Structure formats: structure tokens, C-alpha cells
């Protein structure tokens, strides 16, 4: 425990968490408007020192509140410039300001902290800030953001960010956002990134390594990559169609929702690629010179629309991220010379039919929110909808779903209501989303 101006206990119920799957994360008593993070990272010792200024608005009258923060030493906490009592234990930084904060009031929390950033352990493994062989990466879905900064760790609490990070000069630093400044010091470089679109904490990412920064595609959306020099030949082949994938997705989904897209290839093996806001991170094992993993290239790009611009209100709606991104893979396959969406749907339907039907896609449960069935059956739900309503209505409702909820939060019930504007298919959606039994794929037009 780290004590501040005086002792502060963990009062039951004080955190007002509203996440149904991760109730220990987040605080519903306020909404964050902006994070200003000033960080110093030492690669050889994996030491991070930071000052976070969190601007928030009270959603209730607050005599106390909490933020999520991993295993750092908290040196000081101030609220609106005044020293505040605080306690830091078990991933929660609990704060009692000198004066209560009235409902609707905007206030600023300043936290100084330092220590060794380590991932957040949990049922999905270690999530968040992770050391590489020579550098660091952040992959925070779903609950890893507190591994490197104090936050209100709920997907629905989206805010803007300014991130300043200083590291040794040989290393490149890539943060989700637009690079607005690069200052050179004595043996160091300070990188400043701004994220103006509302962003969930888990979608903020930092990548530090000996990377070369290269153009990924020309024309249209700015697309860049950070790649180790020795991997550039493989990368150049495996990501050669990145610009084409972007063009296809902009046609079927609507305009790319951010100013640029950055791909990072870490010089370490990663189990899976991971999306962040305006960014996707791959391991060196995802490059082989044969485009073996191109479906993942498409999948991670699709998350910029589904997951990043349209963010789930809480984690039980995860199929709105993963089912949609998986279906985008199928759309790319169909236009790039691979199997059509019809063929892929039939294959996956046949495979799922051999497995126990135990997951309700609309609410799979925290233990199975990343189960492959959520991904594939989510995609099958969209294909069944497309088959029932026809291409014209399907792609119109898809593009309008994206446009109307840009940079917002979404729910499964919200998607049902959206679909009702285009077709009467409540029974189809109920069968696919609310019941574990696998429905038959509909026949076109029936």
C-alpha cells in the first residue's frame, strides 16, 4: 500500500464499477475527458516514471473516487492542485480529495508515479506493457491499460490523449496518435503524440524498438510502418496489398475513421496480432514471405472501424468487434482471389456444427469472450443477415451503422434497433445471437 497525506481505506461500493465482465476495473462516478501523460522510459532497466494529468467530469457528487493503476510506487496525488489522500492497493488507486466534487463539475487529477511496468495478470495471460528482447510493447485488450498509466479502465469511457515519452536515442517510439513533436536531447529523444479522437484506455498503445519508419502505402489514407531493418524484405511482400485492403474496406464500410494507420512489427514472436487506435501490432512470426497471415492483416485493419471507432459499451458485446472483423476478412478474401464469403461461411458453419453449442454470442461470459466461436459465429450472423436481406440493404445498413456511431460506443441491442430500420429480421438475430443452438444458414432471399 502507498499512503498519501493520510490513511484512506477501501470502502465497499466506493468504486461504482459498471463493467459487467470486469467489475474490478473502472469507476462509473466520473467520465474522463482527457489524459495528459508525460513518461520517461529506460529500456535496459525497464523502468517507467510518469506524471499523469487526468481531466474528468463528475457524474455523481464525489467525496472519493478511484483509478486503475498497476504495480507502481505512487509518489503524489493532487486534485485541482490540492494534495489529496490516497491509497494504492491491488490495482486500485483510491483518492479522497480535500473537498468533495459536485455533480457535473470538471476536475483535474495529477498523479506522479514510477516503477517497473509489468503486464496485468489474468485469465487471458499477461496483458499490457511487456518487455521485448530489445524494447517494449503495449497490447492492452481488454484490461492492460493500468499496466502503464492511471485510468478509468472501461471501454465506454473514451477520452482524448496527449502522450509525451522520452527514451534513449537509438530507439523509435510509436504511440497511438499523431506525432506532433520530436525533440532531441543528450542521448535521448522525446516523442509527443496527440490522440484527438475519443479513445478507450485499452486502445492506447506504446511501441519502443529499433525500428525503421517506412511508408506502408501511398495515396489516400496515410499508412506507415515501424519495422526492424532485417525484416523489411519479408514485410514488403507480406504487406504489399495493404493499400488495396484499405481501399476495399473504405468502399464497403465507409471512410477510414482516423488520420493515419500504423503497422508495427516487433522483433519478437507474438501469439496473436493486436489492434490499437489507428495501429496494429504484429510479431516477426507473422512474416514469412508468402502472405500466410494476410487474413490477419485484414482483420486488424477492420478493427479500426469495429472496436476502435465503434467501441463496445462493455465486454459482453465483444462479438460486435470480433464477428465484424472476421467477416471483413471474408469480404477481402472474396475480392482478392480467395474463397468467397459464401464458401467461407459454409466451411465455418460445418465446422461449428461438429462442436458443442454452448455459447450465447450476445453474452458469451467473461471466460469465453475471446473464444473462436464468438469470432466465427459472429461472422456467420452477419452472413446470415446479408443472405436474408440482400447485398444492397446489407451494405447500406453496415455503412450507416459505422457512420452513425463513429467514435462512439455500441451495444447488441443498438445493432438490433439499427437493423430494424432496414428489415424485419428479429427472429433471425434472436436465433443467431441469443440461443446457443447453431441455426441453419438461410437460403438467399428466403
Give the end of a domain, one of 245, 277, 304: 304
Query: Are the C-beta atoms of residues 95 and 88 closer than 8 Å to each other?
Result: no
For the chain, how many structural domains are there in total?
Answer: 3
- Say whether both 130 and 79 belong to one domain: yes
Signed CA dihedral, 202, 57, 65, 5: sign only: positive
Quick one: 246 and 191 in the same domain?
no
Binding-site residue numbers for Zn(2+) are 299, 303, 322
Last residue of a domain, one of 209, 229, 247: 209
| Same domain? 323 vs 279 | no
Q: Give residue-wise pLDDT tens across range 114-159.
A: 999 999 998 888 899 999 999 999 999 999 999 999 999 999 999 9
Residue 253 domain boundaries: 212-304
> Which residue, of 276, 304, 332, is where some domain finishes?
304
CATH code of residue 323? 1.10.390.10
Same domain (yes/no): 205, 299: no
Write out the catalytic residue numbers: 300, 375
The domain spanning residue 233 has which CATH number?
Answer: 3.30.2010.30
- Is 178 found in the same domain as 228? no
Residues 317 and 274 in one domain: no
Considering the domain architecture, whether residues 35 and 154 belong to the same structural domain is answered as yes
If we measure between CA atoms, which residue out of 329, 201, 226, 341 comes closest to residue 280? 226
Cell digits for 250? 473504405
Domain presence at residue 441: no
**Is 15 within the bounds of a domain?**
yes
CATH number where 20 lies: 2.60.40.1730
**pLDDT tens per residue, range 266-311:** 999 999 999 999 999 999 999 999 999 999 999 999 999 999 999 9
pLDDT, tens only, 355-365: 999 999 999 99
Residues 148 and 15 reside in one and the same domain: yes
Q: Quote the pLDDT of residue 16.
A: 65
DSSP 343-377: HHHHHHHHHHHTS-----TTS--GGGTT-HHHHHH
Same domain, 167 and 21: yes
Amino acid at each position: 500500500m502507498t499512503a498519501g497525506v493520510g490513511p484512506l481505506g477501501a470502502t465497499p461500493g466506493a468504486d461504482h464499477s459498471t463493467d459487467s465482465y470486469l467489475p474490478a476495473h473502472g469507476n462509473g462516478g466520473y467520465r474522463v475527458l482527457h489524459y495528459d501523460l508525460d513518461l520517461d522510459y529506460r529500456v535496459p532497466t525497464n523502468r517507467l516514471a510518469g506524471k499523469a494529468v487526468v481531466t474528468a467530469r463528475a457524474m455523481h457528487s464525489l467525496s472519493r473516487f478511484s483509478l486503475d493503476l498497476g504495480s507502481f510506487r505512487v509518489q503524489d496525488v493532487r486534485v485541482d492542485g490540492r494534495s489529496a489522500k490516497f491509497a494504492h492497493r491491488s490495482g486500485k488507486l483510491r483518492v479522497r480529495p480535500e473537498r468533495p466534487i459536485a455533480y457535473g463539475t470538471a476536475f483535474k487529477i495529477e498523479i506522479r508515479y514510477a516503477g517497473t511496468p509489468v503486464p496485468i495478470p489474468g485469465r487471458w495471460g499477461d496483458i499490457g506493457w511487456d518487455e521485448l528482447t530489445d524494447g517494449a510493447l503495449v497490447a492492452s485488450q481488454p484490461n492492460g491499460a493500468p499496466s502503464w498509466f492511471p485510468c478509468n479502465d472501461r471501454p465506454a469511457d473514451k477520452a482524448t490523449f496527449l502522450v509525451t515519452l522520452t527514451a534513449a536515442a537509438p530507439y523509435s517510439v510509436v504511440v497511438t496518435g499523431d506525432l506532433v513533436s520530436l525533440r532531441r536531447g543528450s542521448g535521448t529523444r522525446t516523442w509527443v503524440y496527440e490522440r484527438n479522437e475519443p479513445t478507450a484506455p485499452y486502445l492506447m498503445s506504446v511501441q519502443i524498438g529499433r525500428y525503421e519508419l517506412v511508408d506502408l502505402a501511398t495515396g489516400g489514407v496515410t499508412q506507415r510502418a515501424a519495422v526492424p531493418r532485417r525484416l523489411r524484405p519479408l514485410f514488403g511482400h507480406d504487406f504489399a496489398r495493404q493499400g488495396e485492403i484499405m481501399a476495399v474496406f473504405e468502399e464497403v464500410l465507409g471512410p477510414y475513421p482516423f488520420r493515419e494507420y500504423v503497422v508495427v512489427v516487433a522483433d519478437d514472436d507474438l501469439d496473436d496480432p493486436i489492434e490499437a487506435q489507428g495501429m496494429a501490432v504484429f510479431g516477426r512470426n507473422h512474416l514469412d514471405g508468402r502472405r500466410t497471415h494476410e487474413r490477419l492483416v485484414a482483420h486488424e485493419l477492420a478493427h479500426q472501424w469495429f472496436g476502435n471507432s465503434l467501441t463496445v459499451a462493455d465486454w459482453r458485446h465483444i462479438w460486435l468487434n470480433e464477428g465484424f472483423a472476421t467477416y471483413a476478412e471474408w469480404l477481402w478474401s472474396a475480392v482478392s482471389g480467395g474463397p468467397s464469403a459464401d464458401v467461407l461461411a459454409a466451411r465455418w458453419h460445418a465446422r461449428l456444427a461438429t462442436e458443442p453449442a454452448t455459447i450465447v454470442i450476445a453474452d458469451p461470459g467473461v471466460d469465453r469472450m475471446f473464444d473462436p466461436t464468438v469470432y466465427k459465429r459472429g461472422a456467420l450472423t452477419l452472413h446470415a443477415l446479408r443472405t436474408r436481406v440482400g447485398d444492397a440493404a446489407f451494405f447500406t445498413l453496415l455503412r450507416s451503422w459505422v457512420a452513425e456511431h463513429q467514435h462512439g460506443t455500441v451495444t447488441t441491442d443498438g445493432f438490433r434497433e439499427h437493423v430494424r430500420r432496414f428489415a424485419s429480421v428479429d427472429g433471425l438475430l434472436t436465433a443467431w445471437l441469443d440461443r446457443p443452438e447453431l441455426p441453419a444458414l438461410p437460403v438467399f432471399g428466403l
